[in-house]
Amino acid sequence: MMTNWNNKVLYTGVTNNLERRVYEHKNKLIKGFTAKYNINKLVYFEYTSDVNSAIAREKQIKGWTRQKKNELIQSINPEWKDLSKKF
């Protein structure tokens, strides 16, 4: 999950290459929602080798309330730091 500088907008997506995808969002190489709302901070991620379970998990999270998404992020990243800085 990614957000903008003030954590007001959340984006949830699936990718087979997290580092590449974060780079694309940070550099606004992807037109649309993430560029419009300046989505540039990785705050939560999960790994799986099964694309079907990844898509199912994405849909599950997208169906949650904002509060539940916030709680998920805070469970591993209470300060909402940019986790991509570790790449």
pLDDT at 16: 95
User: Residue ranges per domain, the chain?
Assistant: 2-86
At a CB cut-off of 8 Å and minimum separation 6, what does 12 contact?
1, 58, 61, 62, 69
Structure tokens that stand for 13 in this block: 């997506």
At a CB cut-off of 8 Å and minimum separation 6, what does 41 contact?
2, 3, 4, 5, 7, 80, 82, 84
pLDDT at 39: 95
CA distance 49 to 2: 20
pLDDT at 73: 98
Is residue 1 within 8 A of residue 73, CB to CB? The reply is: yes
pLDDT at 60: 98
pLDDT at 54: 97
pLDDT at 86: 86
pLDDT at 21: 96
Structure tokens that stand for 81 in this block: 């730091």
Q: Between the CA atoms of 33, 39, 45 and 49, what dihedral angle is there, to the nearest 10 degrees?
A: 50
**Per-residue pLDDT tens digits of the chain, which is 87 residues long:** 999 989 899 999 999 999 999 999 999 998 999 999 999 999 999 999 999 999 999 999 999 999 999 999 999 999 999 999 988
